Structure formats: C-alpha cells, structure tokens
Amino acid sequence: MKICCAQMNMRLGDTDYNFNHAKELFEKAVKAEPDTIVFPETWNTGFFPRDNLYGLCDVDGKRTKELFGALAKLHGVNTVAGSVSNIKKGKIYNTSYIFNRHGECVAEYDKTHLFTPMNENDFYEKGSCLTSFELDGKMCGIIICYDLRFPELTRTLTVKNRLDCLFVVSQWPDKRISQLDTLLKARATENQMYVICCNSCGKAYNTVFGGHSAVYSPLGEAIAFAGENEEIISAECDEGISARIANEINVFRDRREELYDVKSN
C-alpha cells in the first residue's frame, strides 16, 4: 500500500478556505498515485477557534463526506480524511471519516482522549468507541493526536484486530515534536505494524504546530518524514515485514493477559 500524507497548513476558523485548500492538496497528492491519502486533525476549523466553534463545525460530516467521498470515487483512492470539528446530536465532536476507493464512508471515529491542557474538553465531547476498518484488505485503525499518549488504546485495537496499519491524525505542537516521534516509533515497534502520522503545520493563537508527519515501519524505522512546513510525503508499506517480524518475535503469542491490570485503584 502506498500512502501519501498531506501535511496541511489551515487557517483558523476559515472553513471555506480550508475545504478549498484540502481539495487542492488532495489533487496534488493523487499525482503520486497513492493507494491512500491522509489528512491531519481538525483541518476544517484549525485547532481550535473558541469564539464561534459551534457555528464553524461540520454537521454529521455532511460537507466532509461530500468533498472526500467525491474525490475518493473520482480518483479511486482510499482517504483517511483527518478529522473535523463536527456536530452530532447537538454536541461537538472531533470526528475522523474514512472513505474507500468507491467514495463510500466505511468508518468514523470520535476522539476519545481530549487534550485538557488546551481545554479541548470544555468545547468537545469525548468519543466512546474504538474504530477499525479495512482498506484494500488491510486491517487498519485510527486514533487522533492526544490518543497517541495512551498505549492501552492502541494495544486494545491491535489485540482485537491485529492491525496492519495505524493512522494517527494530529495537531501536534512543535515544542513537543520529539515526543511525537518517540511515541510513533514506540507504537509501531511494540505492535509490529505500520504507523502513519499526518500532522498539521502553521500557527493557531500562540501555538505553532510542528509538522514532521511520518510513516514508521513495523521495525520502528521512519521510512518517510516531513519537515516543518506544508508538504506531501509518500511511502510504500510492505505487508510482508509485519508477518516476518511476528514470526521472529511473536509478542502477541507471548502476552500474559492474566498479569495485566491497568485500572486505577
């Protein structure tokens, strides 16, 4: 599977510009003939306008589905459409939508861990379900930004579904970009799968977002890496690597579930 990450610099609160710019980046990315294109977190609003967030949100993903469903179908490419600020049943969620080559929305995921240091929890609702899906016969999972800091989440996904790929869509600031790299490498290595991160770049309020989108192999090696500015990166994911590693070091067979209890006292 060939992956393209569209590391996007969006405008805070300018949804019309952001939708048009996402379309432009998609059309640039398809020139590389990828199997899957990935976008960052909350690209429709930026992360995140406090004054009129509710009025800027997508509603049940309608606009996102219209844009990416049509583009995915037109170009015959799978699309992990980052995430969008999105209203469901009157409440705001941070929602990811995934489309197959036919433009069908095959999965959606609401961010489960909200970033309390920036008061995301005061504006958004927590999701309550994990999400996995198939693209071209590969089992995939999706998490959003702060979710990456909770290894229990990723391990639960991999134990239940034995993922080939994990997509991470994010708005990760530049001052903690080394932590992003470390966590991505760890999730790839410990779960023996590809980890594909599409981060944003640019600035919102006083926060500078760090770019450095990356694709990590099941060996924990970065096989594609972006810089700090807007760009599109691509990488080929060889499914045979995961199988070979699993045969050599079968961590899923050797797990000791009877010893694990991660609940707080």
Q: Would you please indicate which residues are annotated as catalytic (active-site) residues?
A: 41, 111, 145
Cα distances from 28 to residues 40, 99, 120, 122, 254, in angstroms, run 16, 18, 32, 36, 44
Contact 191, 154 (CB under 8 A): yes
**Is-contact 84 67, C-beta < 8 A?**
no
Closest C-alpha to 40, from 259, 218, 212, 205: 212
Tokens of 160: 């239940």
Q: d(Cα 139, Cα 216) in Å, to the nearest integer? A: 16
Q: How far apart are CA 205 and CA 167, in angstroms?
A: 27
